[in-house]
Structure 1
Amino acid sequence: MAAEPWHILIVDDEADVHEATEMALRHLSVEGKQLRLSHAHSAQEAYAILASQPDVAVVLLDVVMESDDAGLRLVRRIRDELGNDEVRIVLHTGQPGYAPEIETIRAYDINDYKTKSALTRTRLFTTLAVAIRSYRQIHHLKMTRQGLDLVVSASGDCSNMCALQRYAEWVISQLSAILGIAPDGLVCAAANRSSEPTRIIGAIGRYRELIRRPLDDLPDAGLRALMQQCLDRHEHVFASGACFHFGVGETDGIAAFVNISRPPGRVDHHLLRAFCANVAVGFENILLQQRLYAFAYRDSLLGLPNRNGFLQIIAERVNGRGSRLALIDLDDFAEINSVLDYHFGDLVLRAVADRLEDTFGPPAFLARLGSDTFAVLGPSVTLTEDSIEQAFSMPFAVQNEMIRLSATASLIDLSDGSQAGAEVLKDASIALKQAKVLNRGRATCFSASLSAAARERIHMLTDLRAAFSAEHLYLAYQPQVDLISGRALGAEALLRWETEDGRSIPPDQFIPLAEQSGLMIPIGEWVLRTACRQLKRLIDLGHPGFRMAINVSHTQFREPGFVPMLERTLEHCQVNVQLIELELTESVAIGHLDATRAKIAEIRRMGISVALDDFGTGYSSLSILKQLEIDRLKIDRGFIKEIDEHGDHSGIAGLVIALGRQLNLITLAEGVESEEQRRHLIQLGCQEGQGFLFARPMPAGQLETWLAGQNR
């Protein structure tokens, strides 16, 4: 392929100057390239040509044309308005008095300034040759700068094949600049160390459509052979063009083909050797970043996108219309790993991924978000509850074994693109958790009410943290009395939350949040400390023997440091430990009976009594009750409500009281609201009670006043 000629623009308002210049330059070449002449007869016409044809290398420009300084004004416009710093400008004039030579060269960015009479054929060629060489150097510098910009851009986005492609194309453009040819008809290919074929990773010009395709798809058999020879020999090959080899550790080599008509010169060889050495390092960096990207965005076991990669897919692909996202969680997958082994579990995951890909496939996208959780993003017409359940209706073949699996799935329609990917996944996760509880083994569509409730819980948890930090939580105390005499025996410390605008948040709403988030640990310690201090104050006010019942959540009780924290608090508050009673729920013993029994025994050895709260509403059994060695049974208010003037309808309250009597436990009834309930409880043998019949929960100051009235 012949090299592109140097583009020369002749600007003069005299026709004979154009003819003379064209005759003088006829059949001449510079640096092995012919000259292509363009003509303009005014500064304005020249400006239009330069604006539309940026490949002009040299302008032979007359100074005096439509005005005395038309040429000088054009120089300014070329540099300032067009921003063209590459084109070289040679001024010539027949009237040197209008623009003195020294001042003109000093003031304007030009290469030379000659009078027309001095421009003989020899001097014109010499001047033009110097200007062309200057243009070539400046042009090469600009291409290098642009190439470096491409490298910087590629280094910021080396996370996919496109970055490698851009870097490969930069390599081609730089080779073109070094060899002084146009960046066209070039190709760059890499040989993988795996069994995959050698692929084209970057191209400019007529080979661009072959990017990412195998090298064997090249239509030019000679070029295929040349590149394969370069890759096989691991060296540069110069024949019918130039093929450069780059030794890159991640591959068997990378080859770049440049279609040149002549072998590189000695100087070019030195430049190319240094260039290729640096380019190889660049390729290795690009491939390294691709591996890092794979670690961050791909699942290493299945090669699918992981959670990060799937979030990118959602952000790039979701247009909202007709799209649906599904989360699919395998049921009891942990049992497969524990009963069989992890290797078999990996094969099961591979089989599930293959089934999902076969079922949905393109245009749907499949990802693995967790150990046994998959995600599918695809058209809502095909991604349905039935299609997901159908995918798991048949057994899976794993190592010649037929394994039946079930899965719980949640689906969410993407009505528009307003939600971020993380928000969409969060909504789907909410639906999946709900489905795991209520619809296990089935696919369930997402409900907006689930998301609203979850967001409300998050807001409440945030507000609860702020309220605790700002000391907006407080304790209310509900007296516990002797049912027969009505004498106050103690009080239960109850945690309360009142917002800044005066709203009271029910404990059954915020306490579960505190337990799930871990906030109950510091809150529980604060409750214990505050209740002990109030007990100390009541004793000092003349209420000896007054008992303080303090609730302890199961998360707080199971903390390894709970007992040492309890000892420190009691020692700090200086209260009689025999006046402290800890109220535990039945849930503390579930799955942890031995540890719970040992911890209760340790607490009772300190002199602290233990009550079992809400007895009969959970998982209690007689054997558990006997093993825990508690002091008091609290009958849940739900059973007390069954008692009216006709007696105990359900009989459960009577059974609990009888059980307590049999085990020598004190029984305390919660929620006593009527005299009929009190009388019937006394008949059944219940000793103590608390409820609205006696007193409502009250702040510390009101409790002190109430007790003072009781004493009077």
Structure 2
Amino acid sequence: MADAEGRLVFADEKPPADGGIAAAMPPWRILVVDDDADVHEATRFALKGLLILGRPLEFLHAHSGAEALAVLRREADVAVVLLDVVMETPDAGLRIVSAIREELQLTNLRIVLRTGQPGQAPEMDAISRYDINDYKTKNELTRNKLFTTVTAALRSYDQLRRLDASRSGLEKVIAASNDMMTRPGLKSFAEGIILQIASLIGVAAEGLVCACINRNLAIKGALPSVEVIAAAGRFSDYIEKSLDDIAEPRIANALRQSLRERRNLVTPHSVTLFFATPDHHAYAVFIDSDQPIRPPDQNLLHMFCTNMSLCAQNIQLVATLREQAFFDRLANLPNRSAMLRELDRAIDGEQGPSLALALIDIDQFSAVNDLLGHPYGDQLLRAIAQRMIHDFPGCFVARVAGDVFGLMGRREQLTPETIERMFSVPFTIDQVDHPLTVSTGIVHLRDVQGDGSDCIQDAYIALKRAKAGGLGGHAYYSESIANETRDRNRMRVALHRALTQGGQLYPVFQPQQDLSTGQVIGLEALTRWRTDEGIHISPNQFIPVAEQTALIVPIGEWILRHALRVQETLHGLGHTDLRMSVNVSAVQLRQPDFLTMLDRVLDATPIAPEHLELEITESVAALGIAQVLSLLDAIRARGVAIAIDDFGTGFSSLSYLHRLPADRLKIDRSFIHTLESGQGGRIAEMVVPLGHHLGMKVLAEGVETAQQLERLRALGCDEIQGFLLARPMIADDLVAWLAAFHPDDGAPQAGAS
């Protein structure tokens, strides 16, 4: 009760019993804030020697608002504040509450307001607004009621702290699980368990981890030899020793019991956790603690244990995935990713300038797979891998692509001669010798500007140059080769832009003449490229780039549409007997929808298919005779004629040529230019009757002189095309040229476009 002046006094009451002594349990810290010294003394006297929730009390004192805030900034773990409402000002207590919640962010701290007079009580909205947990007048606080109020406040504080601990512990369990999943190998996994458990319950990492190699024996009760695979603190000396070497029996016994009984053990000052994995590994983790492990922490450890058991099941999977990420299982070699990693290390290392990378491409390996089957090809790749490892000791060997191997080693070790020597001996597969040739691209790491990815790219640039020279070639990376490659890439980008934006690509047409009548009987449509700056790009430059990048497919459809549109105009002007010849590359014919594209273009024009001729080269032989015959038969079935262009420059044989369903044979200009010499005449003498014998018309390209024309007449050639008749011209010039052309007067000349 309160005296006449409102000071706190206590009736003669017996305090509630709380039973027992909570030795080693930290006390509850209570801050008394009041400007009356007697209140401090009375509060301390009333609660002296009592246990609340099994723990003693410790009092802190402040006699003003400023002093109270200073104490709270300085002292940790204050559980309850007994706060006078009126001190230096009428609202001093409420100001302190506001600072506690908003400035100090002490949300778990319980606040009990005390006041001497009922009229000084704060309004209800103030209690709600300032997060005040209880309010008492001082004359209400008898000893028993003060005990009850403080107990309720401490219980609330303890519950809030436990909720925070559980939330924080759960976050740690999740974080620990994520961390453990990234640790490669059992030892790292074990070390991680020690650190995570110690962090989880806030103790020093004084732990042991022991591995049981065969869990089946442990289940049967015959515990095998157990080794300490990770340890910390004062137990570090036990790493890689047997469990029998542990000098402290309580630790060794706890580990044995946990492994044998396959369960967790918790004592007041230690915890031993059990983990097992599907691959027959079992672990026991002993954690020593200098204070009792609280029940909430024990629950967290059990939760962690369950989580780690699930996590441990994935350790082997993670290791397998990591191995697969850097290992090629077919060749039993590191893969491209592993090579990139090694190159990065080498480029950054001291020995980088003395090293080289060689990319080795097996010539015609796809043909081996097609002819002998993929199992045979797989055996061949494994044999190559083993020979590389044997013949290039100290080198890093990897399979970086399907039939491309990478060797990284000393420059003097990786030369075209040493690599060629390795492949000079045939590989024996299924008791049959299989000789091989390879194309090799080599780059010295000192010449690489960048990382491992740039290094491989440079080696591929050299390899591409080597393959361009034929089978069994080699090339070193150099800046000039890189510049050529960059120029081709720039041209590819510019060509794509020219195609998509329009206006730069345009068609030209070169007339073809029948030698027997002198009439113009056809036109060849050709593609030209003039940039926005007015620069003409030679077809010899951009057509190969278009074929290498498959841009020739949309370009081929584009020129076909334009050619038929011009032919439609010419037919309207009375030139109804002209055929239109359009070049088609092997890349276009390889497209599965080529015939669909052809039908689509033919359906969009009134020009009859009989007025269209598609020119192919002997390179279509690479598609295979069966596919080529089927495709050409389907084209001719639509009424479209077939011409074989640039005859004599390809690689087809006569036996292949006579089977092609073609209507016209075009002699390449390279043979026409030598007609005035004896050798050129001999070739033309063979080609003209050959074409006639195969039932084809023969057309000579590149005719530029009257002497060449007369020689072709004498040989019986049917048709000509070349500058002697007319240069390629745009459609408007072609219309004027045709109007002025008279067979008996000679051909009018149009300027080249």
Match of 1:242 in 2: 271
Task: Report the CA distance shift for 1:316/1:122 in structure 2 as closer, same or farther (over 3 A).
Answer: farther
Match of 1:5 in 2: 26
Match of 1:557 in 2: 589
Q: Is the 8 A contact 2:173 2:304 kept in 1?
A: no
- Whether 2:394 is the aligned partner of 1:359: answer yes
Q: Is the 8 A contact 2:568 2:607 kept in 1?
A: yes
Residues of 1 paired with 2:341 and 2:81: CA distance? 51
Amino acid at match of 2:722: G
Of 482-491 and 341-350, the range deviating more from structure 2: 341-350
Q: Is the 8 A contact 2:270 2:293 kept in 1?
A: no
- Whether 2:552 is the aligned partner of 1:531: answer no
Match of 1:108 in 2: 130
- Whether 2:649 is the aligned partner of 1:628: answer no
Task: Report the CA distance shift for 1:522/1:130 in structure 2 as closer, same or farther (over 3 A).
Answer: same
- Whether 2:684 is the aligned partner of 1:656: answer yes
Task: Report the CA distance shift for 1:626/1:383 in structure 2 as closer, same or farther (over 3 A).
Answer: same
Amino acid at match of 2:197: I
Task: Report the CA distance shift for 1:192/1:344 in structure 2 as closer, same or farther (over 3 A).
Answer: farther
Residues of 1 paired with 2:739 and 2:542: CA distance? 33
Among 109, 130, 137, the alignment partner of 2:159 is 137
Residues of 2 paired with 1:322 and 1:79: CA distance? 62
- Whether 2:723 is the aligned partner of 1:692: answer yes
Match of 2:107 in 1: 85
Amino acid at match of 2:688: G
Task: Report the CA distance shift for 1:694/1:210 in structure 2 as closer, same or farther (over 3 A).
Answer: farther
Among 191, 194, 197, the alignment partner of 1:172 is 197
- Whether 2:415 is the aligned partner of 1:386: answer no
- Whether 2:608 is the aligned partner of 1:582: answer no
1:249-288 to 2 correspondences below 5 Å:
252=281, 257-259=286-288, 275=303, 279=307, 283=311
Residues of 1 paired with 2:439 and 2:254: CA distance? 54
Of 652-661 and 156-165, the range deviating more from structure 2: 156-165
Please report how far the alpha carbon of residue 493 of structure 1 lies from its aligned counterpart in structure 2 after TM superposition.
Answer: 0.9
Among 527, 534, 549, the alignment partner of 1:495 is 527
Gaps of 5+ in 2: 1-22, 217-223, 744-753
1:283-322 to 2 correspondences below 5 Å:
283=311, 290=318, 294=322, 297-299=325-327, 301=329
Q: What is the DSSP-based 3-state SS (H/G/I as helix, E as strand, rest coil) of the residue aligned with 1:84?
A: coil
Please report how far the alpha carbon of residue 167 of structure 1 lies from its aligned counterpart in structure 2 after TM superposition.
Answer: 9.4
Of 433-442 and 192-201, the range deviating more from structure 2: 192-201
Q: What is the DSSP-based 3-state SS (H/G/I as helix, E as strand, rest coil) of the residue aligned with 1:515?
A: helix
Q: Is the 8 A contact 2:358 2:406 kept in 1?
A: yes
Q: Is the 8 A contact 2:211 2:229 kept in 1?
A: yes
Q: Is the 8 A contact 2:612 2:640 kept in 1?
A: yes
Q: Is the 8 A contact 2:563 2:580 kept in 1?
A: yes
Residues of 1 paired with 2:235 and 2:403: CA distance? 41
Task: Report the CA distance shift for 1:578/1:438 in structure 2 as closer, same or farther (over 3 A).
Answer: closer
Task: Report the CA distance shift for 1:634/1:436 in structure 2 as closer, same or farther (over 3 A).
Answer: closer
Q: What is the DSSP-based 3-state SS (H/G/I as helix, E as strand, rest coil) of the residue aligned with 1:386?
A: coil
- Whether 2:740 is the aligned partner of 1:709: answer yes
Residues of 2 paired with 1:225 and 1:350: CA distance? 52
Please report how far the alpha carbon of residue 542 of structure 1 lies from its aligned counterpart in structure 2 after TM superposition.
Answer: 1.9
Residues of 2 paired with 1:476 and 1:97: CA distance? 106
Residues of 1 paired with 2:175 and 2:520: CA distance? 78
Task: Report the CA distance shift for 1:427/1:467 in structure 2 as closer, same or farther (over 3 A).
Answer: same
Q: Is the 8 A contact 2:580 2:613 kept in 1?
A: yes
Match of 2:4 in 1: none
Residues of 2 paired with 1:22 and 1:117: CA distance? 16
Q: Is the 8 A contact 2:359 2:460 kept in 1?
A: no
Please report how far the alpha carbon of residue 660 of structure 1 lies from its aligned counterpart in structure 2 after TM superposition.
Answer: 1.7
Q: Deviations over 1:341-378 (max 9, x none)?
A: 577568658758977998368xxxx87643455678xx
Q: What is the DSSP-based 3-state SS (H/G/I as helix, E as strand, rest coil) of the residue aligned with 1:628?
A: coil
Task: Report the CA distance shift for 1:398/1:616 in structure 2 as closer, same or farther (over 3 A).
Answer: closer
Please report how far the alpha carbon of residue 303 of structure 1 lies from its aligned counterpart in structure 2 after TM superposition.
Answer: 9.1
Count of aligned pairs: 689
Please report how far the alpha carbon of residue 672 of structure 1 lies from its aligned counterpart in structure 2 after TM superposition.
Answer: 3.2
Q: Is the 8 A contact 1:147 1:174 kept in 2?
A: no
Task: Report the CA distance shift for 1:103/1:470 in structure 2 as closer, same or farther (over 3 A).
Answer: closer
Task: Report the CA distance shift for 1:352/1:561 in structure 2 as closer, same or farther (over 3 A).
Answer: same
Residues of 2 paired with 1:193 and 1:250: CA distance? 9
Task: Report the CA distance shift for 1:657/1:444 in structure 2 as closer, same or farther (over 3 A).
Answer: closer
Please report how far the alpha carbon of residue 619 of structure 1 lies from its aligned counterpart in structure 2 after TM superposition.
Answer: 1.9
Q: Is the 8 A contact 1:6 1:34 kept in 2?
A: yes
Residues of 2 paired with 1:321 and 1:357: CA distance? 21
- Sequence identity of aligned pairs in percent? 35
Among 168, 171, 182, the alignment partner of 1:160 is 182
Residues of 2 paired with 1:25 and 1:346: CA distance? 86
Task: Supply the RMSD in Å over aligned alpha carbons.
Answer: 5.9
Residues of 2 paired with 1:468 and 1:529: CA distance? 14
Q: Deviations over 1:287-308 (max 9, x none)?
A: 5984796498454728987657
Residues of 1 paired with 2:39 and 2:475: CA distance? 85
- TM-score (normalizing by structure 1): 0.72
Please report how far the alpha carbon of residue 158 of structure 1 lies from its aligned counterpart in structure 2 after TM superposition.
Answer: 8.0
Match of 1:476 in 2: 508
Amino acid at match of 1:241: S
Match of 2:20 in 1: none
Please report how far the alpha carbon of residue 587 of structure 1 lies from its aligned counterpart in structure 2 after TM superposition.
Answer: 0.7
Q: Is the 8 A contact 1:189 1:215 kept in 2?
A: no
1:657-672 to 2 correspondences below 5 Å:
657-664=685-692, 666-672=697-703
Q: Deviations over 1:83-134 (max 9, x none)?
A: 3323444566789987759676444335455678987887776655544443
Residues of 1 paired with 2:326 and 2:613: CA distance? 54
Of 577-586 and 483-492, the range deviating more from structure 2: 483-492
Q: What is the DSSP-based 3-state SS (H/G/I as helix, E as strand, rest coil) of the residue aligned with 2:508?
A: strand
Q: Is the 8 A contact 2:173 2:307 kept in 1?
A: no
Amino acid at match of 1:230: S
Q: Deviations over 1:465-494 (max 9, x none)?
A: 454455544422111224687642211011
Amino acid at match of 2:162: H
Please report how far the alpha carbon of residue 569 of structure 1 lies from its aligned counterpart in structure 2 after TM superposition.
Answer: 4.8
- Whether 2:258 is the aligned partner of 1:230: answer yes
Q: Is the 8 A contact 1:231 1:255 kept in 2?
A: yes
Residues of 2 paired with 1:11 and 1:394: CA distance? 89
Task: Report the CA distance shift for 1:67/1:582 in structure 2 as closer, same or farther (over 3 A).
Answer: same
Gaps of 5+ in 1: 377-381
Q: What is the DSSP-based 3-state SS (H/G/I as helix, E as strand, rest coil) of the residue aligned with 1:692?
A: coil
Task: Report the CA distance shift for 1:432/1:659 in structure 2 as closer, same or farther (over 3 A).
Answer: closer
- TM-score (normalizing by structure 2): 0.69
Residues of 1 paired with 2:600 and 2:199: CA distance? 74
Amino acid at match of 2:412: D
Residues of 2 paired with 1:680 and 1:410: CA distance? 51
Please report how far the alpha carbon of residue 641 of structure 1 lies from its aligned counterpart in structure 2 after TM superposition.
Answer: 4.2
Residues of 2 paired with 1:115 and 1:358: CA distance? 90
Q: What is the DSSP-based 3-state SS (H/G/I as helix, E as strand, rest coil) of the residue aligned with 2:726?
A: coil
